[in-house]
Amino acid sequence: MESVVGYLKSNLDNYLEELKDYLRIPSISTLASYKVGMTQCAEFVSRKLKEAGMTRVEIFPTAGHPIVYGEWLGKPGKPTVLVYGHYDVQPVDPLNLWTNPPFEPVIQDGKVWARGANDNKGQNFVHIKSVEAFFKTVGEPPVNVKFLFEGEEEIGSTNLGTFLKEKQELLKCDTVLISDTSMYARGIPTITYGLRGLLYMEVEVTAADRDLHSGSFGGAVANPINELAKIISKLHDKNGKVTIPNFYKGVLQLSKEEKENFRRLKLSDKEYAKDLGVKELQGEKGFTTLERLWTRPTLDCNGIIGGFTDKGAKTVLPSKAMAKISMRLVPKQEPLKLAKEFTKHIKALSPKSVKVEVRTIHYGYPVIVPLGSKALVAGANAAAKAFDKETVFTREGGSIPIVVDFMRILKAPAVLMGLGLDSDNIHSPNEHFLLENFEKGLYASAYFLDEFSKS
């Protein structure tokens, strides 16, 4: 392993340059105007997979963005590791808050800054390079390798779900290696064993069939913004619980052991609040911060539009207002059932004076990866070697919708070996990725292949 790790170390600067090329490609999956960037990015990944020594590389078109697949199966009798990553990124708005343009990566303060630097290009790129390093040094990787990179993770992975069902034979593997989560803290190697699910909805409220003068009509007809705000305000009770009927049905109680494990991680509410620039934290009564983040379902308004929002003033009663509302889900909650409950609840909260339309945008299931599998142990050992510290096991508040399908369809445990930090500003302006984590991530990836080949 020494030669492989040594090779990775001496090539760090080259890898960073290649990562910057990757980051320059604007691959925002949710915006139709970025279709060219998406195609270019898929081609970039496929090129890198070929350079890394994959003997078969294919770009599979889908109803949405392409899926990139690569494989090297030169180790019959040895296990197969499937590396999953996503090359799509989140939108960059508000653009004016970026210090550097989001698709012009710069290296500064020991970090690489760009949209996708952490989520997920910086994190997935380490696996391509670690596999390549085996070919360049010891001749070949110690296990069979498959790569599966999609362009729709940030929009719910719908087409990848279908692909997985259709291509079970192609994607057959013994474990799925994923770096798309956070480390518990800087310097602390982390394996994540639980992710929340997601249900993303849109609520549109319409009052009059056109915008109206707020003086001539105000007071006599409903204002959709006022009504939408009232509806949203009724979605939580005074204890921070979501008011949708059956929302908590089936939600598991935390075991004593898990509670104790969380406590041992010693999160300081005070520091957490300080980091975020808030005076006090807020959430569901009766739960600690880590419990709220990792094990409890939530509901949040992610965006709201309506009426006049430009500079200056306009006296208007808008015809429409719209809100994007999403729910983070935990094991045993069923996204599709909850979509129905949500719709019913919103309708029940709406006055007759407005018309309300509720739409489902996308959803993903929550997941728990059983602890103790060979793959998870190999992951924990590999991360510990790379970071020279004992690995901790965490759950996460974020979602990676396809992980459940890896478990259900491929029947392979997912090793969530996160290299990001919660302070990396993912989905936010000034996203970045610590170079230290890029470097150690390369080593962790190489150690994983080695550890797993022996298990």
Cβ distance 410 to 185 under 8 Å? Answer: no
Out of Mn ion, ligand BES, none, what residue 181 binds, judged by CB under 5 to 8 A for its kind, is ligand BES
Nearest one of 159, 158, 90 to 118, comparing CA atoms? 90
Phi then psi dihedrals of residue 279, to 5 deg: -75, -30
Least Å distance, CB 258 to ligand BES, is: 18
Residue bearing tokens 């070929």 = 50
**Residue 442, amino acid:** L
Using the minimum distance from each CB to ligand BES, give the nearer residue, 403 or 410. 403
Interface with Mn ion, residue 431, by CB under 5 A? no
Interface with ligand BES, residue 198, by CB under 6 A? yes
Separation of alpha carbons 252 and 333, rounded Å: 9
Using CB under 6 A, which of 189, 364, 366, 413 touches ligand BES? 364
Interface with ligand BES, residue 434, by CB under 6 A? no
Nearest-CB residue for ligand BES: 398
Nearest one of 92, 122, 120 to 107, comparing CA atoms? 122
From 137-145, 180-188, 242-250, 296-304, span contacting ligand BES (CB under 6 A): 180-188
Nearest-CB residue for Mn ion: 119
Using the minimum distance from each CB to ligand BES, give the nearer residue, 7 or 262. 262
Count of residues that interact with Mn ion, criterion CB under 5 A: 1
Phi then psi dihedrals of residue 262, to 5 deg: -65, -45
State how far Cα 366 lies from the chain centre: 12
Least Å distance, CB 410 to Mn ion, is: 22
Cβ distance 319 to 205 under 8 Å? Answer: no
Interface with Mn ion, residue 88, by CB under 5 A? no
Least Å distance, CB 366 to Mn ion, is: 16
What is the C-alpha radius of gyration for the chain, rounded to an integer number of angstroms? 23
Least Å distance, CB 248 to ligand BES, is: 21
From 268-276, 344-352, 366-374, 391-399, span contacting ligand BES (CB under 6 A): 391-399
Using CB under 6 A, which of 179, 295, 298, 399 touches ligand BES? 399
Out of ligand BES, Mn ion, none, what residue 399 binds, judged by CB under 5 to 8 A for its kind, is ligand BES
Out of ligand BES, Mn ion, none, what residue 102 binds, judged by CB under 5 to 8 A for its kind, is none
Using CB under 5 A, which of 71, 119, 152, 439 touches Mn ion? 119
From 39-47, 65-73, 174-182, 214-222, span contacting ligand BES (CB under 6 A): 174-182
Cβ distance 65 to 153 under 8 Å? Answer: no
From 118-126, 132-140, 232-240, 242-250, span contacting Mn ion (CB under 5 A): 118-126
From 18-26, 124-132, 312-320, 393-401, span contacting ligand BES (CB under 6 A): 393-401
Interface with ligand BES, residue 153, by CB under 6 A? yes
Using the minimum distance from each CB to Mn ion, give the nearer residue, 73 or 361. 361
Least Å distance, CB 270 to ligand BES, is: 22
Least Å distance, CB 120 to ligand BES, is: 6
Interface with Mn ion, residue 204, by CB under 5 A? no
Out of Mn ion, ligand BES, none, what residue 227 binds, judged by CB under 5 to 8 A for its kind, is none
Within residues 111-150, the interface with ligand BES by CB under 6 A covers: 119-120
Q: What is the 3-state secondary structure (H, E, C) of the chain?
A: CHHHHHHHHHCHHHHHHHHHHHHHCCCECCCHHHHHHHHHHHHHHHHHHHHCCCCEEEEECCCCCCEEEEEECCCCCCCEEEEEEECCECCCCCHHHCCCCCCCCEEECCEEECCCCCCCHHHHHHHHHHHHHHHHHCCCCCCEEEEEEECCHHHCCHHHHHHHHHCHHHHCCCEEEECCCECCECCECEEEEEECEEEEEEEEEECCCCCEECCCCECCECCHHHHHHHHHHCCECCCCCECCCCCCCCCCCCCHHHHHHHHHCCCCHHHHHHHHCCCCCCCCCCCCHHHHHHHCCEEEEEEEEECCCCCCCCCEECCEEEEEEEEEECCCCCHHHHHHHHHHHHHHHCCCCCEEEEEEEEEECCEECCCCCHHHHHHHHHHHHHHCCCCEEEECCCCCCCHHHHHHCCCCCEEEECCECHHHCCCCCCCEEEHHHHHHHHHHHHHHHHHHHHC
Tokens representing 405 are 């399908």
Using CB under 6 A, which of 71, 396, 405, 439 touches ligand BES? 396
Interface with ligand BES, residue 180, by CB under 6 A? yes
Interface with ligand BES, residue 398, by CB under 6 A? yes
From 10-18, 105-113, 115-123, 305-313, span contacting Mn ion (CB under 5 A): 115-123
Least Å distance, CB 238 to ligand BES, is: 27
From 6-14, 57-65, 77-85, 396-404, span contacting ligand BES (CB under 6 A): 396-404
**Residues at the contact surface with Mn ion, assessed by CB under 5 A:** 119
Binding positions for ligand BES, rule: CB under 6 A: 119-120, 153-154, 156, 180-182, 198, 364, 396, 398-401
